[in-house]
Structure 1
Amino acid sequence: MFDVKDSDFFDVEEEDFDTILASDIKFRGTIKFKKPFMIRGTVIGSIEATSDLVVDTDAEVTAMISAQRVLVRGKVDGNINAKDVVFVTASGSVNGDIISKEVVLEPGSHFSGKCTMTGK
């Protein structure tokens, strides 16, 4: 249908992550990480990363997010600043501003905010 650079990022599985915040965990505060991170639970606060972030299908994140690449399958309330790409799948929802080189919104996804694409 369409081609996205680094499409391997969008085919991620649980085994690809060193750290996963499980679906039964509710975290409040600041999360900082350097290796790929997956959220399946609830996060309220801020996320600062030099790596990739996946907000999985049933995850709920209320945070300001800064990361290399961000894949949203769940719900994000807050601004996302990604160095390379923000990809919101059909099951994903973002309520907040997005700043990134590349932004992909799959048909069926929800986005409410301002989008700024920084270019190549």
Structure 2
Amino acid sequence: MFSGKKTASMASETTSQQNTIAKGTVITGDIISEGDFRIEGTIQGNVKTPGKVVIGRTGIINGTLKSANADIEGKFTGKLLLTDTLSLKSSAHVEGEVMVGKLAVEPGANFNATCSMKGAIKDFKNGGAGQQTTTQRPEQRSNPEKDQTT
């Protein structure tokens, strides 16, 4: 009934594996991966992954980072493009251009960047089913009691 053969299922899920760049490691060039990253070393170049990138306290990226989420405790300089959330810890130092869906900043973080939040832009463009909202200063608002002529 049972054969002597054993079949091993080698289902390799690269998205569940985490890549680690250790402290003291310097990489110059572009990195593309399906897995998450933890960076404690230095990357001079671009990083692209559909997952999450964690830049630890000793981690540094100089370049472009494209991912879904990022937690930054170390230093980032360059262009940061995230489809979801950027979380800056109190020890973070970020400079450059940032485009994110959501932003969380702990007190003490250094954030010197131009930042646009894609979620807010998309909602603003829709304008609530085509409705246009305008803001008037108090002196510009019409007063129905004043406007009536008898």
Bin for the TM-score computed over the shorter chain: 0.7 to 0.9
Q: What TM-score results when the alignment is normalised by the length of structure 1?
A: 0.83
Maintained 8 Å contact 1:44/1:63: yes
The count of corresponding residues between Structure 1 and Structure 2 is 105
**Structure 2 residue runs without a partner (length 5+):** 1-15, 121-150
Structure with higher RCO (Cα < 8 A, 6+ apart): 1
Q: Which runs of 4+ in 1 moved over 2 A?
A: none
CA RMSD of aligned residues (A): 1.4
Between the aligned partners of 1:98 and 1:83, the Cα distance in structure 2 is 11
* Alignment correspondent of 1:50: 50
Between the aligned partners of 1:60 and 1:99, the Cα distance in structure 2 is 19
Q: CA deviation at 1:115?
A: 0.8
Between the aligned partners of 1:106 and 1:17, the Cα distance in structure 2 is 28
Q: CA deviation at 1:17?
A: 5.5
* Alignment correspondent of 1:25: 25
Between the aligned partners of 1:71 and 1:34, the Cα distance in structure 2 is 17
The structure with the larger Rg is 2
Amino acid of the structure 2 residue aligned with 1:104: A
More strand by share: 1
Q: What TM-score results when the alignment is normalised by the length of structure 2?
A: 0.67
